[in-house]
Amino acid sequence: MKTTVTLALALAAAVVPVGHAGAQDYPTRTVRLIVPFAAGGPADLYARVLAQHLQEQLKQAFVVEDQPGAGSIIGTNAVKNSTPDGYTLLMMSNTHTTNESLVAHKPFQLMRDFVAVSPVNYSDLVMVVHPSVPANTLKDFIALAKAKPGILNYASSGIGTPYHMAGELFKAMSGTDIVHVPYKGSSGARNDIIGGQVQMMFDAITTMAPNVQAGQVRALATTGLKPSAVLPEARTVDEAGVPGYEATIWLGVMAPAGTPQPIVARLHGEAIKALHTAEMKERLAIDGAAPVGSTPSEFAALIRYELEKWARVARAAHIEPE
């Protein structure tokens, strides 16, 4: 018995330093950060800025690979099928949380096949109308929509996108009946709200802000719980007439399930350092975004909350999984 206990204690003592050393030595080779969206978008942009900082901090190459397709499914599945050793990471967004409800036959489940590493940033949307719409405030627009159920419409960049789900959440919480007009991308939707072919749209605040300032569209509200620095004169939807409303765009990093916790913790710590550098803060401010510094467990809780939230919205809007 004494020999057995001594051996067990020796093994336990040996295991802890090895795990600790593995995390301290990580990474010893190139790390791939896969972006399951098209090149040039926010996920690609911030993946590259983050990868540059991680490379400088950890003295090892961090390579960004864009693998778009099937609404983020292709690149996400590539990460899921990789070895869970910290050398293949996923740059994900809140699109992943809506896909869980709207894409029926995915080869993965987000909270089963991945672990949360770190949130990266979040930014608000802005709700805009064409100047021809007789509504100068959010309450005016809600009253107009209720007086004309099924007559007004709103554009989005496609079914299940953050712009679409922001619109459906607004409809559910404001008790309005507004017709959704999906486009194949945000540029087509944006052109038609400016041209007056559609009446309303939720759009990325930094993208639409110049059109607001040029008088091409009228901003009714922003979608965060705090006023946006990009359009500080605009009230939030929450304070302007729909209490509790919030719909933001956010990005984060996940790793395949089974990635050693010490490596996850190291990646999180280094990501937080990168997000709070002066360069990153400046880059985020330009885009009207803010860094997020929560822990992996807090990030996982956010993801679960968003999964449940958008599933409820999808059910309320009768959006069937494809």
The percent helix, strand, coil of the chain (3-state, each to 5) is: 50, 20, 30
* pLDDT for residue 271: 96
Q: What pLDDT score does 22 carry?
A: 60
Contact 258, 114 (CB under 8 A): no
Q: What is the pLDDT of residues 80-112, one digit of tens each?
A: 999 999 999 999 999 999 999 898 889 999 999
Please give the CATH topology (third level) of the domain spanning 2-122+250-316. D-Maltodextrin-Binding Protein; domain 2 (3.40.190)
Region of residue 292 (left: phi > 0; alpha: psi -120 to 50; beta: else) = beta
Q: How many residues does the chain have?
A: 322
CB burial class (10 A; 0-12, 13-18, 19+) of residue 298? middle
What distance in Å separates the CA atoms of residue 94 and residue 72, rounded to the nearest whole number?
11
Q: Output the CA angle 72-77-79, nearest 5 degrees.
A: 105
Chain segment 145-169, per-residue pLDDT in tens? 999 999 999 999 888 889 999 999 9
Tokens representing residue 125 in the block: 């949307």
Structure confidence by residue, pLDDT tens digits, 115-150: 999 999 999 999 999 999 999 999 999 999 999 999
Say how many CA atoms lie within 13 Å of 151 toward its Cβ.
Answer: 10
Tally of CB atoms within 10 A around 63 = 12
In 216-308, where do the E strands start and end? Answer: 218-222, 248-256, 289-291
- Domain 2-122+250-316 identical in fold to domain 124-240: yes
| Type and span of the H or E element at 160 | none
The pTM of the full predicted model, rounded to 2 decimals, is: 0.84
The CATH number for 124-240, chosen from 3.40.190.10, 3.40.50.2020, 3.30.70.3270, 3.40.50.1000, is 3.40.190.10
User: Over the stretch 49-81, which tens digit does the pLDDT of each residue have?
Assistant: 999 999 999 999 999 999 998 889 999 999 999
Domain boundaries, the chain: 2-122+250-316, 124-240
pLDDT at 101: 87
How far is Cα 107 from Cα 73, in angstroms, rounded to an integer? Answer: 8
pLDDT per position as a tens digit, 183-231: 988 889 999 999 999 999 999 898 899 999 999 999 999 999 999 989 9
Which amino acid belongs to residue 141?
Answer: F
| Whole-angstrom distance, CA of residue 166 vs CA of residue 173 | 11
Distance of CA 110 to the CA centre of its chain: 13
